[in-house]
Structure 1
Amino acid sequence: MTAEPITLDGPLTVSITRRVAPEDELLMQAWVHAGTSMAERFDGFLGAGWVRSGTENWHMLYRFDSRATLDAWERSPERQRWLRSAADLVEHRRTEYRTGIEGWFDEPASASVHEPAEGAPAAPPRWKQASVIWVAFFPTSLALAYLLTPLTEGWPVVLRVLATTLLATPWMTYVLLPFVTRLFGRWLARGRPVGPRG
């Protein structure tokens, strides 16, 4: 399926689903890191991230401040070489362009979706996503409360929360959430419909 391209200006988030064999996880992590390091050298780059769903699907996001800066990255020779370098590593499943800050998390104000012939599985239900996030969030919050209290006792509450979130966010994003997502991968995937084909 291919929707009409987005014409609104402003920040754009690109969400890409790719399938990778489980045994190629380390190669995939290195490839994603190389692409992010390259993209952040381009004007307008606002950030990137990824999360795994099950054992094979990787959901990647990158964000630019305008259609023009996004196009400059997507059409660049550097990106084309980077994509070709993984021709035998990844299978492209789905690309979605989202506008506005909601593109990181919620349903977008507008979107353009491009899918190859074989559709991608739908996302898990939100209650399952919330459950997995809680499984990562609770022990992280508990551990940081015990570890930081002796150091931050007497600090204003704003500074205590700032210190906690500065430590918790990268830990959860890059370590614990990917681990918990893999751990609960079969449960997250159970009962999910498959996206349209053809």
Structure 2
Amino acid sequence: MTNSISAESYHVTAVIAHSVKRNLEKEYEDWLRGIVPVAKSFDGHLGVQILRPHLEENTEYVIVLHFDHHQNLKRWLESEERHKWIELVQPLIQQPENVQVLTGLETWFELPKRPQKYPPKRYKIALITWLGVLFLSLVVGRILNPLLEPLPWLLKQIITSGLIVWLLAYFLMPQLTRLFYRWLYPK
């Protein structure tokens, strides 16, 4: 965890990877159902995403936690409640958890267990972000325009752009990063 001003002042993401032991996936899922509501009860919690393994031979789960700023994330990561839950998961995982704390736009382009020494080239980040914004603008605009018609122009823009940014950050960018991974990070 970094102590820079930007890391302490702005949205922060923790990416936690667990390699679950074979045939203990159900117990791990039960553990997830228990710990997630506890994390959500902490100040500054903005959301959690669980990336489950898709291939039979892969047993790695990735938990992506979003907090409003570094101090609140730190409180959760160092809390007694979390430590109790981490003790409970130890028999279910193959090795100690891997926790990465990320801030800023680069979190959209970082996949767990594939940490990069350098972020993708700036033009690639811009192009993928543009693609995501374009897609969401077309879809969200088409859906929301009829509903927001009676509102003033500025309010419509605030609502539409806010929804687009939220969808981009929490749903679309992780998918686009996976889809374009080889292009973003050529060998």
Q: Which has the higher strand share?
A: 1
Say which of 170, 187, 190 aligns to 2:186. Answer: 190
Identical positions, percent = 22
- Aligned residue in 2 for 1:40: 40
The answer as to 2:183 corresponding to 1:178 is: no
Paired residues in the alignment total: 163
SS of aligned partner of 1:47 = strand
The answer as to 2:82 corresponding to 1:83 is: no
- Contact kept? 2:16, 2:62, Cα under 8 Å: yes
Q: Which has the higher helix share?
A: 2
**Counterparts of 1:74 and 1:95 in 2: how far apart (Å)?**
11
SS of aligned partner of 2:115 = coil
The answer as to 2:121 corresponding to 1:125 is: yes
Say if 1:62 and 1:154 are closer, same or farther in 2 by CA, change over 3 A: closer
- Contact kept? 1:18, 1:90, Cα under 8 Å: no
**Counterparts of 1:128 and 1:29 in 2: how far apart (Å)?**
36
- Contact kept? 1:51, 1:178, Cα under 8 Å: no
| Structure 1: gaps (5+ residues) | 98-102, 107-117, 192-198
Matches within 5 A, 1:26-105: 35=35, 37-42=37-42, 44-48=43-47, 60-63=64-67, 67=71, 72-84=75-87, 85=89, 88=93, 92-93=97-98, 95-96=100-101, 103-105=103-105
Say which of 135, 143, 146 aligns to 1:150. Answer: 146
Say if 1:172 and 1:48 are closer, same or farther in 2 by CA, change over 3 A: same
| Structure 2: gaps (5+ residues) | 55-59, 107-112
Which stretch shows the higher mean deviation, 88-97 or 159-168? 88-97
TM-aligned CA deviation for residue 32 of structure 1:
7.2
RMSD: 4.5
